Amino acid sequence: MNNRLLAGRYELIEKTGEGGMAIVYKGKDRLLNRYVAIKILRPEFTKDEKFIENFIKESQAAAGLTHPNIVGVYDVGREGNIHYIVMELIEGKPLSEIIEEKGKLDYKEAVDFTIQIAQALSLAHKNQIVHRDVKPHNVLVTSQGVAKLADFGIAMPLTKADMNESSDKVMGSVHYFSPEQARGAYVDERSDIYSLGVVLYEMLTGHVPFDGDNPVSIALMHINENIPSAKDEVSSVPYQVDRIIKKATEKYQSKRYKNVDDMIEDLKSVSYIESRFGQNALYGPYGDKAVETAVPEDGNDPKDEKNSKNGKGHNSPAKKDGKKNDGDKPGGILAFLKSDKGSKAIIIGGIVILIIGAILLMGAFMGWFGNHEEEIEVPKFVGMTYEEAVAKAEELGLEIERGDDVYSNDQEEGYVAAQSVTDGSKVKPGKTIVLNVSKGKRDGVMPKVTGMTLDEAKQTLEDLGYVLGTTIEVTSTETKGTVVNQSVEAGEPADQGTVVNLEISDGQGVEEVAVPDLSGYTPDEAKSALNALNLSVGDVTYEEKSDIPENTIFWQSVTPGNYVPIKTKISYKVSKQIDAEEQAKKEAEEKKKREEAEKKAYEKWLKEREDHKVWVVDKEAVYEDKVIIDQEAVEAWDEEVDTGEVDDEGNPIYETVHHDAIPEESHVEQELVSEEEGHYEYEEGYRDGDFKYEG
């Protein structure tokens, strides 16, 4: 399919990958002169009308999502039976490949990727789009470490039949299924949160939590079993990160994060706590690692010097011989505190107090003791200038991140066109909100309205300042009411106010397919090829061919590549082996007929010999370009020849033609000019005459 042109615009350059549902090509948009990724659905999915309908709707909705962590969707279309999506071309690797290369990721890197994916889902969920297929294979990571989520709208619920197959399509997704997806129950935004929790687990451990020989067994694990602890397997995973995974992957949707923004808050708090209180604070109340490793900021542990002198490590026991320590002897606590051991106890106690204080602060941030911090209502930044939005955010205690510069028909250049958190939402102070800024209207370029309903096309044209002209219904295989043609092609320059006429499908068209080239096929292969395209076998004729392999097709009734209605019958001819005995018999019969014809001709003309009309011709020279003539002497004579004209009275006019005498010459070689039923005409200078064979 390489180098094919879709919609007269998108050139397929090379295949870059394929999955269970689609094949991906690197392509070029000739109109905008940029490289793109083009995803083409596999043929088996194009027969499911409901899936195609949902695919188009969700892909078009996803095309409206603009976010640094979402692979941009530029166009969705169909050409013949090819359904395709045109997307942003990402130079990078799938997250699945990064996990495979590294084995497992450092928790900081894993948390960073998870936050980026979650931010992409946040925008999608606010636009009522559920991804349904969050997995590392659908996350592309650029060379700068930016994670971009792809394939919105391409995921589809699997049937029971799918679940009983061990296909790549099913096996690739079921590892990340939420329990409700596995049961075929209601799916919402929290289903994506579950899948994201599984992805985080895989990044930290290097493998998925559940695996099996078939999709059914894996799905049952998601339904019945809890996700294993990542920390139990990888000790360096902070407890708080493990807690986030457990909450995201609760079996019941109601027990998970209410929305992905809450999950983002917890993920960001991990790095915040580490930056404020050190990495050890992440391990505090659920293990003794913090106590074992905590040291003052100067990096020197007071007990190191003492223990090194005694040749003891940090964990050497205080009493090996069962004797009491000095602190247990009479003399009071004051004497003990003045001793070396007492000083050491004071230092250790201070460290413990600091650790406990850090734990209490961390608990406050993580909500262990209840969080009474006042939340902020997000204002409507859309419609403000970017500078106004930044000032407003600072006033409220929010952070602003500038996203993409985008075209907008609603906002003037420099004004905010979209925000990552919906206005009216409640967020915590310090929340980062991504703002896309308008580049102004994109005037002068006609949108693509083919594939839309008439109402959708009208609204799109009017929104951009164009005028809907005439609409006529035409015969088409597209769904009734779908726009199949527009008078001004998509992407063409067009001033506002341009009138656009549309052709609407009546849904009565007959689907056509290209006829395959059957040459060299066996009849069985041809039948399979035709049936696959919903074509039928017509008349089959067998003919003897010595230069074509036996039982192969060498002719077909319709030229390959021509389009015909489905169910058309295609006839073809098949070669069969020549029977040598039968062939020899046929040649013998033809030779006999030829000899009989020659004999009859000889006998006929032998009887009609006349003195001045017959020349004797050498029998052996009859079939050559030159003939040898034994001619008799002929005296000169005059001949009256009809001119074909008439006189005034209507009588024919004759003229006299004089023929010179021909002297007797033997064996004169003459050029043979023509031959017809025994009559030979020779070059000028010799009389025409009939012949007889020299017996």
DSSP symbols for 43-56: GGGTT-HHHHHHHH
Weakest-pLDDT range from 335-349, 439-453, 633-647: 335-349
- Percent of the chain surpassing pLDDT 90: 28
pLDDT at residue 300 in the model: 41
Model pLDDT, residue 492: 77
Kindly indicate the confidence band of residue 635, based on its pLDDT and cuts at 50, 70 and 90: low
473 contacts 525 by C-beta, under 8 angstroms? no
260-277 helix and 189-205 helix, angle to the nearest 10 degrees = 40
More confident residue, 460 or 114: 114
Residue type present at position 495: D
- Residue 90 has what DSSP assignment? P
- The pLDDT confidence band at residue 331, using thresholds 50, 70 and 90, is very low
Q: For residues 279, 281, 284 and 289, what is the CA-based torsion angle, rounded to 10 degrees?
A: 30
Q: What percent of the chain has pLDDT over 70?
A: 70
Unique residue bearing structure tokens 């692979």: 71
Residue 68: is its pLDDT beyond 80?
A: yes
Decide: 535 and 567 in contact? Cβ < 8 Å: yes
pLDDT at 302 over 70: no
Q: Is the pLDDT of residue 670 over 60?
A: no
Mean pLDDT calculated for residue range 449-464: 87
Q: What is the pLDDT of residue 279?
A: 62
CB of 204 closer than 8 Å to CB of 237: yes
User: Could you give the residue numbers annotated as active site?
Assistant: 133
Lowest mean pLDDT among 115-119, 604-608, 626-630: 626-630
Q: How far apart are CA 498 and CA 90, in angstroms?
A: 36
Q: Are 686 and 615 within 8 A, CB to CB?
A: no
Higher pLDDT, 18 or 337: 18
pLDDT, average across residues 408-428:
83
Q: What is the mean pLDDT of residues 128-156?
A: 84
Three-state SS for 82? strand
The pTM assigned to this predicted structure is 0.44
Residue 183's pLDDT band (cuts 50, 70, 90): confident
Q: Which residue has the higher pLDDT, 326 or 136?
A: 136
Lowest-pLDDT choice from 153-162, 278-287, 502-511, 551-560? 153-162
pLDDT recorded at residue 186: 79
Predicted local confidence at residue 261, as pLDDT: 94
CA–CA dist 527, 521 (Å, integer): 9
Per the structure block, which two tokens stand in for 120? 């992409």
Closest to 8 in 3D by CA, of 562, 491, 499 = 491
Q: Cβ neighbours of residue 41 under 8 Å, at least 6 residues apart?
A: 21, 22, 55, 82, 83, 84, 154
Residue 507 has what pLDDT?
83
Q: Between these two residues, 551 and 370, which has the higher pLDDT value? A: 551
Answer for the pair 659, 681: CB distance below 8 angstroms, yes or no: no
Answer for the pair 193, 166: CB distance below 8 angstroms, yes or no: no
Query: Which tokens hold the place of 383?
Result: 């419609």
* Helix, strand, or coil (residue 453): strand
Residue 16 has pLDDT above 50, yes or no: yes
pLDDT class of 110 with cuts at 50, 70, 90: very high
Of 100-109, 167-176, 271-280, the poorest mean pLDDT is in: 167-176
Task: Dump pLDDT digits (tens) for 161-175.
Answer: 333 333 444 434 889
Span 412-438, average pLDDT? 87
Instruction: Tell me the pLDDT band of 147, cut-offs 50, 70 and 90.
Output: very high
Residue bearing the bigger pLDDT, 467 or 497 = 467
Q: Residue 292: is its pLDDT beyond 50?
A: no
In the predicted model, what is the mean pLDDT of residues 527-551?
Answer: 89
In terms of residues, how long is the chain? Answer: 695
- Two tokens at 127? 């636009």
| Mean per-residue pLDDT, 90-115 | 93
The pLDDT, as a whole number, for residue 49 is 76
pLDDT score for 353: 62
Neighbours of 157 (CB within 10 A): 11
pLDDT of residue 214: 80
- Domains in the chain with CATH codes: 1-89 (3.30.200.20), 97-277 (1.10.510.10), 290-316+327-366 (no CATH), 376-438 (3.30.10.20), 512-578 (3.30.10.20), 609-693 (no CATH)
Contact 398, 435 (CB under 8 A): no
Give the range among 23-37, 253-267, 283-297 with minimum mean pLDDT: 283-297
Average pLDDT of the residues in 667-683: 44
What share of residues in the chain are helix, strand, coil (percent, to 5)? 35, 25, 40
pLDDT band at residue 680 using 50, 70 and 90 as cut-offs: very low
Of 413, 430, 412, the residue nearest 421 (C-alpha): 430
Per-residue pLDDT at 470:
92
pLDDT for 574: 94
Mean pLDDT of the chain: 76
